[in-house]
């Protein structure tokens, strides 16, 4: 590592996380977060190194964070999206979604707070349009994203030395979106969606904002075509 700021991006082996890592790499020492060490090793991010850990394993996560000596930017991009009617959604599905989309975010942030405070750092939460509006069949996912937005608001108020940004993308051309469209029995139409790079550029703009600026919320939607 160098004296450059350090950025940790979860979900960095693909999609928005990988696109964000690539945009931050020219100015930051990047840590690629994810559970699949092989996928992280295959990611094409010059100079980056893996931060391979299962985010829902509290002990492993704590051990991984203990190995860090600096952290300036923490981007939470990992997540799951399972759709279904409330009447058909068992408790296990609720627990899994909240564990990944909220509890792991809260715990990694908590563990990293000493480093982030020291750096006057920046936490970026990749949320969703579902964190602003809940629709039928999206109950579990929307609930986690509404909760994630609340987490960001409280973190921002409790840690005034940090910058905290919630990013709410619309449909984005990722593997997750492909899975969502399959669950909706719909066609995957990437040309109608945001690219991961477009969302990543919104993240970059927030991170690179002047010191007197705090970008708290970003909403990015696909253009109508």
Mean pLDDT of the chain: 96
Q: Where are the alpha helices (DSSP H) in the chain?
A: 15-24, 37-42, 58-66, 91-98, 104-119, 139-158, 175-183, 196-207
Q: Is 124 helix (H, G, I), strand (E, B) or coil?
A: strand
Each domain of the chain, given as residue ranges in start order, spans 6-219
Tokens, residue 2: 């160098």
The pTM for the full model equals 0.96
- Top CATH class, 6-219: alpha beta
What one-character DSSP code corresponds to residue 69?
S
Residue 84 CA to residue 177 CA, distance in Å, equals 15
Instruction: Spell out the per-residue pLDDT of the chain, length 225, in tens.
Output: 478 999 999 999 999 999 999 999 999 999 999 999 999 998 989 999 999 999 999 999 999 999 999 999 999 999 999 999 999 999 999 999 999 999 999 999 999 999 999 999 999 999 999 999 999 999 999 999 999 999 999 999 999 999 999 999 999 999 999 999 999 999 999 999 999 999 999 999 999 999 999 999 999 999 987
CA angle 146, 179, 7 (to 5 degrees): 60
What is the pLDDT, as a whole number, of residue 123?
Answer: 98
Query: Residues 55-84: pLDDT tens digits?
Result: 999 999 999 999 999 999 999 999 999 999
State how far the alpha carbon of 95 is from the alpha carbons of 27, 45, 75, 89, 179, in Å: 37, 33, 22, 11, 20
Which residues does residue 49 pair with via DSSP β-bridges, in sequence order? 31
């Amino acid at each position: 590592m160098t004296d450059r700021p350090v950025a940790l991006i979860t979900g960095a082996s693909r999609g928005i996380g990988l696109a964000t890592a690539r945009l931050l790499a020219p100015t930051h020492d990047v840590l690629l977060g994810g559970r699949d060490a092989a996928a992280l090793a295959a990611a094409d991010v010059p100079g980056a190194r893996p931060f391979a850990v299962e985010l829902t394993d509290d002990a492993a996560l704590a051990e991984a964070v203990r190995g860090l000596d600096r952290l300036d930017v923490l981007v939470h991009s990992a997540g799951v999206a399972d759709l279904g009617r409330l009447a058909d959604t068992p408790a296990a599905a609720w627990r899994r979604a909240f564990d990944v989309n909220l509890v792991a975010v809260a715990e990694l942030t908590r563990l990293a707070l000493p480093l982030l405070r020291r750096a006057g750092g920046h936490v970026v939460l990749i949320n969703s349009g579902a964190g602003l509006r809940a629709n039928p069949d999206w109950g579990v996912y929307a609930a986690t994203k509404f909760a994630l937005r609340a987490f960001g608001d409280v973190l921002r108020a409790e840690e005034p030395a940090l910058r905290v940004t919630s990013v709410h993308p619309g449909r984005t051309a990722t593997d997750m979106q492909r899975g969502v469209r399959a669950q909706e029995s719909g066609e995957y139409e990437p040309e109608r969606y945001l690219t991961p790079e477009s969302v990543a550029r919104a993240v970059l703009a927030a991170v690179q904002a002047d010191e007197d600026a705090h970008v708290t919320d970003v909403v990015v939607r696909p253009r109508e075509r």
